[in-house]
Structure 1
Amino acid sequence: MQPSSVQNTVTQGQLLLLAISFLTRVPVPLNFTVTGAHLNQASRYFALVGLLLGVLLALLYSIFQLLLPPSISVLLMMAVGLLLTGAFHEDGWADVWDGFGGGWQVEQKLAIMKDSRLGTYGAAALFIILLVKFQSLLFLSGSLLNVLSAIVIGQCLSRAIATSLIFSMNYVSADATAKVKPLAMHLSVTSLAILLLTAGFVLSCLIVFGVLLWQTAIVMIVVLLILRQLLIYWFKQQLGGYTGDCLGAAQQLSEVTIYLTLVSLL
C-alpha cells in the first residue's frame, strides 16, 4: 500500500492515536492492523503528541511546585516524562553515542546501536543530557510562566525537528532482515507541513498571550534550523543516513538546545 492511499482506510483520528501509541506508553485503542504506511502517515502528528506531553508535564509541574521545592518538582516532572515515553528518545540518544563512539565502520556502528546493552559512551551521554535538562529547567523555574512554556516548547518543537529529518535523509540499516524497532521511513510534504504548522501554532499562541517574545521565538527558530543542518551532516558523516536511534538523539539534542536557548535569552 502506498502512503497516499492510507487516508482512504484510516481516519486522521486513528493516525493520531497511532502516533500516541508509538511515542508513549499511554494505552490507546487501535482497532486496525498497523502497517508501515500507517506509521508514515501518523508521523505528521508526532509534534502534536509532543504538545500533548508538554501540556501534561507542565500541568504536573504546576501541581508539584505548590507542595515541593523547584528542584524536586523538576526531577519528579522529568521522571514522569520518562515513564510516559518509556525513555524512548533517551534510549536512542545513548545508543547513538555508543555506536558512534565505539564503532569504526558503518556496519560496526549499526551493530553496536542495536545492542541492548548500555556502554560507557552512552551512559556518560545520558547522564550529561539529563543533568543539563535538569539544570536548565531549574534555572527557568525562577518564573513559573518561563518554565511551563519551556516544557511545552521543548516537547513539541524537538519532535518536529527530529521527525522532519525523515524528509531530508535516507534510512540505513545493517541488513534488510535485521530485527529493528518500528519506524516511520517516509514523510510526505503534507505531513511535513502539518509538523511545521503544529510547531508554529504553539509558538504563535505563546507570543499572542505574552508568554514568549517574538524576538525570542525567531532566535529559537534560527538556532533549531542550524541544529537541524548540523544533525543531518553528523548523521550522514557517521552512517550515510539516519536510524530510529538517530531520530531519538535528534529529539533529545533539540529539546536541550531549546532549553539552553531560553536560558540564555530569558
Structure 2
Amino acid sequence: MRHLLHQVRLFFIALQFFTRCPVPAWVGFEPAWLQQCARYFPVVGTLVGLFAAAVLWAASWIWPASIAVGLSIAASVWLTGGFHEDGWADTCDGLGGAVSREKALLIMKDSRIGSYGALGLILMLGLKAAALLALLEADPHLGLAALVWAHSASRLAPVWLMSASAYAGDADHAKAKPLATQASSGTLYFGLAWLLLLSGLMAAYDSAWVPGLCAAWVAGGAATLAMQSWLERRLGGYTGDNLGATQQIVELVILLSLLALVGVFT
C-alpha cells in the first residue's frame, strides 16, 4: 500500500511539474521525487493530449477546422505553461548559431528570446498546426487520436535522453536539479509500456491505423536518437531546455510521419 501511495504521489508530482493542474496538498514534495516521477511523463502527455483533443473536437462544431486546430494548440500551450515550447526556443537560440559549447549554455540560460528562438517557435507551431489540420481533413478520428498519441510518445523521448545521455549543464545550478541525474531503466520501461498500451488501444479501435503507428514509432525513435547525437556532439549531453526541445521535435515528426502515410490507412 505504501508503494502504491508513493506511485500516486509521483504521478501528481509529474502532473504538477508539467501542467497548471493543481494537486492535493497531501502529496507534498521532495526533490528526489522529481527524478523518480519521470516514468509518468508519457502519462501526463496522454492527459495533455486528451485535453487538446477535447478542445479540438468541441471547437470543430463551432468554427472551421483551421480555427479549431489553432484553439487546440493554444489550449495545450496554456495547460503546460508553454514549458516545452520555452525549451525549444532556448535551444534554438543556443544552438542556432556557430558558437562554442560554453557560449551556447550561457545563451540558453538567458530568459530573453532571440531571433533563432522566435523563428523556431513560429516554424514549430506552424508546422504542427498544418500537419494536424491535414490529418483532420483526411480522417477526423485519426486526427484526434494522433494528437493524443503524439503528446504521449513525444514525452517518452526526454526520458530516453535522461537514461542514455549525460547532463551537460551545471548540475549544481540547474533549474530542476533532480532532472540532471540519470533516469533508471525501470523508469524508461514503464513509459515504454504505457506507450505500447496506448498503441494497442488505437490499433484495437481501427486496425487500419497500424501501418501509421509503426511509422510513427520508427520516426519518433529516429528523431530521438538524432537529437541525442546532435546534443552530445554540440554540448556533450542535454540540459533541461534540450529535453523540452526534444519533446517538440519528436511530436512534430510523429505528426508528419502519420501524415506521410495517411493514404495507406484512410
TM range (shorter): over 0.9
1:155-212 deviations in Å (ceiling 9; x for gaps) = 1000012222100001121x45435245523311111111001111111100011165
Q: Which residue of 2 aligns with 1:136?
A: 131
- Output aligned runs, 1:242-261, within 5 Å: 242-261=238-257
Task: Confirm or deny: 8 A CA contact 2:51 2:76 kept in the other structure.
Answer: no
2:50 pairs with 1:92: no
> Quick one: which of 82, 90, 99 aligns to 2:77?
82
SS across alignment from 2:155: helix
SS across alignment from 1:147: helix
Equivalent-residue separation in structure 2 for 1:19 and 1:211 (angstroms): 32
- Output aligned runs, 1:1-266, within 5 Å: 11-102=6-97, 104-142=99-137, 143-173=139-169, 175-178=170-173, 180-184=175-179, 185-210=181-206, 213-266=209-262
1:214 Cα deviation after fit: 1.8
Equivalent-residue separation in structure 1 for 2:177 and 2:24 (angstroms): 18
Equivalent-residue separation in structure 2 for 1:212 and 1:152 (angstroms): 17
**How many residue pairs get matched?**
259
Cα distance, 1:51–1:211 mapped onto 2, change above 3 Å = farther
1:109-154 deviations in Å (ceiling 9; x for gaps) = 1110010000001110110000001111111111210110111011
1:106 Cα deviation after fit: 1.3
TM-score between the two structures when normalised by the length of structure 2: 0.92
SS across alignment from 2:190: helix
80-89 or 20-29: which moved more?
20-29
Equivalent-residue separation in structure 1 for 2:27 and 2:204 (angstroms): 39
1:246 Cα deviation after fit: 0.5
Q: Which amino acid aligns with 1:169?
A: S
Equivalent-residue separation in structure 1 for 2:152 and 2:82 (angstroms): 16
SS across alignment from 2:96: helix
Equivalent-residue separation in structure 1 for 2:211 and 2:74 (angstroms): 32
Q: Which runs of 5+ in 2 are unaligned?
A: none
Q: Which amino acid aligns with 2:94?
A: G
Task: Confirm or deny: 8 A CA contact 1:103 1:112 kept in the other structure.
Answer: no
12-21 or 184-193: which moved more?
184-193
Q: Which amino acid aligns with 1:63?
A: A
Q: Which residue of 2 aligns with 1:4?
A: none
Task: Confirm or deny: 8 A CA contact 1:114 1:180 kept in the other structure.
Answer: no
TM-score between the two structures when normalised by the length of structure 1: 0.92
